[in-house]
Amino acid sequence: MLSRIAESLYWIGRYVERAEDTSRILDVHLNLLLEDPWAPEDVVCASLMSAMGREVVEPAAAADVLDALAWDRSTPASVLGALGAARENARRSREVVSAELWESINVTWHEASRPGRRAHPHAFLTWVRERSAAFNGTADATLSHDDAWHFLVLGRSIERADMTARLAAARALAGTAGPSWVTLLQSCGAYQAFLRSARGAVNDARSIEFLLLDPLFPRTLMSALVEAERCLDELGTRHAHVDRGQGSEAHRVLGMIRSELQFTPTVELLDDIYHVMERVQAACSAASDAIARRYFPRGVITSWKAS
């Protein structure tokens, strides 16, 4: 397939996942502020902003956070921006993306940018999650599980790993003043699954362990990394004949960080969680670059100047 199309699919996967993850995170944190009388608004907001790689302007308030992370159209780092960016990418690859899938993305974008959405952030964020589920379901059911599909899932998995790592790092940074690990599990929709697996023994260490390492729940860091590696494997075997000498770079980076998580004793992991999570983010970024170099090569843009 065309590199340009593959790249689009990869980024559709990332942006849709980003919209969903950001909605989950925002929704849970904003609810926390309404629910817990003692939650320090500025700390919670600041930790959220820093998790998303934004400058923290103190004192941070919930409304500013919503503006920046939900409504800002100018950057694909917000919910609305990510939906827009996903749609742009889908538009560029309409011949590969199934009509149903394109429609799903397009409808989402138009609905999301309707004025009046801002009045009900909770309803909006819930709806984005539903749309993302509809997108993923439609993709699963209407695309051949070929290269295009693998690029889509690869993007989704890398984004998911990156988001979970950011969330965990931000929590480690905010310390006890920040949102609890339970809040984080809720952000990933993992709380009930965790409760069932932990059989009631809820404590910080077990929550972190679940969020990072559980191999069965699909939104944990470990699951996301394993899924990304699986996609790289698939793509690698299909493209073995055109190895450009950097074929397994992305796989190597992800595999290394996955092994670090898997084989470091949990106690050590928990002690140094911020740095480990930083390394995970760096690995995701590096893997993303390596994938681009390998599969999405671009020509050098030449511009002609009259002298």
Where do contacts with another protein occur on this chain (CB under 8 A)?
A: 4, 7-8, 11, 14, 18, 31, 34-38, 40, 42-43, 46-47, 49-56, 58, 62, 75-77, 85, 88-89, 92, 120, 122-123, 162, 166, 169-170, 173-178, 192, 194-202, 278, 281-282, 284-285, 288, 292, 296, 298, 301
**Please, what is the minimum distance in Å from the beta carbon of residue 150 to another protein?**
17
Q: Which long-range contacts (CB under 8 A, 24 or more apart) does 203-210 make?
A: 204/180, 205/266, 205/270, 207/181, 207/182, 208/168, 208/181, 208/270, 208/273, 209/266, 209/270, 210/185
Q: 74 or 144: whose CB is closer to another protein?
A: 74
7 or 240: CB nearest another protein: 7
- Smallest separation, CB 53 to another protein (Å): 4
| Of 211, 209, 214, 216, nearest in space to 266 by CA | 209
Give whichever of 113 and 281 is closer to another protein, judged by the CB atom: 281
CB atoms near residue 82 (< 10 Å): 26
Q: Is 72 exposed, middle or buried (0-12, 13-18, 19+ CB in 10 A)?
A: middle
Burial 35-65 (b: 16+ CB within 10 A, else e): eeeebeeebbbbbbbbbbebeeeeebebeeb
Q: Which is nearer to another protein, 55 or 241 (CB)?
A: 55
Give the span between the Cα atoms of 160 and 154, in whole angstroms: 10
Rounded distance, CA 272 to CA 280, Å?
13
How is residue 13 written in tokens? 């996967």
Q: How far is the CB of 85 from another protein (least distance, A)?
A: 6
* CA distance linking residue 168 with residue 128, whole number of Å: 22
Closest CB to another protein among residues 100, 176? 176
1 or 177: whose CB is closer to another protein?
A: 177
* Residue nearer to another protein on the CB measure, 260 or 278: 278
CA separation for the pair 18, 46 (Å, rounded): 19
